[in-house]
Amino acid sequence: MRRFLLCRALVCATTLLILPGCGYFGQVPSAPIQSTMGQSATGQPSSTDSVQAPKSTRTPDAPSSLPTAETQPQKNVSDPAQPDPDKPQRAASTGVHSGTGYVLSADIYRAESVEFVPHTGTGKYASYLAMNIPFAPTERLRENLENTFNVSLKHRGEAHVTVVTPPEFERLSSNISIQQINLIAATHIQQHSFKIECLGESKTILNGEIARTFFLVISSDDLVVLRKQIALAYHISGGEVPAFLNDYSPHITIGFTHRDLHSSDGVIKNSLSCIESVTTHQGLKK
């Protein structure tokens, strides 16, 4: 009997198992053993139906500094770079608004394809210097402006860029003739380059009504140089300095509701009057 008890004690000590009826060196355990299925060794249900994960002793991490959906900056729906869904978008075509501006035929730049036209009238303001421009691209633009703005626009049946205005020539005429000016310009004026900057519009009140004029604002280093050559000829002939009193604002008039408007009407025809962008495309019809 002593040998049996000694062997049993050795088995319990070796396996470290608390077996029913074994205990520690033969002591009977005083409490039931819990099973992994949520039941006690006596078959009674435990206080939970599922297996519980062990609780971690790790301390909580610091809050993440990455932005959440609530903290991420939201896109500004009024961003001007984004198309406005409430603004009607018109299809692109020659002279038609494309949604981001007007598209013209690149033939408008082919001034060398048309002849220089002298303006040498005898009446006041009948003499001036102008670079002749192909008319067809501007005509199509005028027709589409009439539809877009619901206006009827008058025009001269031709297109040009004024280089010396009639009032400017009145000042120059005391020392230089329009024929002399034409001689300076005629050989190369139609080859001068220019760039269309935008579509411009100017308004004023005439006889109680709103008068409007539409034009293409342009820039041209070549035409600025030509004006300097004319000013030099004027100075050599004894003319006062400066030859030109006003800043040069080259443009191509497209059409007007009443009459063409000028600086004497208090309007400007430079980049400050831009209302729409203009691009050109070689493949478009005139």
β-bridge mates for residue 127, sequence order: 120
pLDDT value of position 65: 45
Residues 6+ apart with CB under 8 A from 226: 163, 184, 185, 189, 192
Query: Higher confidence at residue 236 or residue 51?
Result: 236
pLDDT tens column, 214-253: 999 999 999 999 999 999 999 999 998 899 988 999 999 9
Query: Higher confidence at residue 223 or residue 24?
Result: 223
Average confidence score pLDDT of the chain: 77
Confidence of residue 2 (pLDDT cuts 50, 70, 90): low
Residues of the chain with pLDDT > 70: what percent? 64
E strand or H helix that includes residue 164 = strand 159-164
Residues of the chain with pLDDT > 90: what percent? 58
Query: Which tokens in the block code for residue 40?
Result: 């006690």
Mean pLDDT of 119-137: 93
Cα(74)–Cα(90) distance, integer angstroms? 30
Task: Assess whether pLDDT exceeds 60 at residue 26.
Answer: no
pLDDT value of position 99: 57
E strand or H helix that includes residue 204 = strand 195-206
Mean pLDDT of 162-185: 96
Query: Which tokens in the block code for residue 135?
Result: 């008319």
Cα→Cα distances 182→2, 121, 172, 185, 226, Å: 141, 13, 13, 5, 11
pTM higher than 0.75 for the full model? Answer: no
Query: Higher confidence at residue 210 or residue 12?
Result: 210
Residues 6+ apart with CB under 8 A from 138: 108, 159, 216, 252, 254
Report whether 65 contacts 162 (CB < 8 A). no
pLDDT tens column, 182-194: 999 999 999 999 9
Task: Assess whether pLDDT exceeds 50 at residue 196.
Answer: yes
pLDDT tens column, 60-80: 444 444 444 444 444 444 444
The total of other beta-carbon atoms located within 10 Å of residue 138's CB is 26
pLDDT value of position 81: 41
What secondary structure letter does DSSP report for 157?
S
β-bridge mates for residue 39, sequence order: 45
Pairing of strands 127-133, 119-120: antiparallel
Confidence of residue 130 (pLDDT cuts 50, 70, 90): very high
Query: Which tokens in the block code for residue 54?
Result: 């062990």
Report whether 92 contacts 98 (CB < 8 A). yes
Q: Where are the domains of the chain?
A: 1-29, 102-281
* Residue corresponding to tokens 């992994």: 36
For residue 126, how far is the Cα from the chain centroid? 42
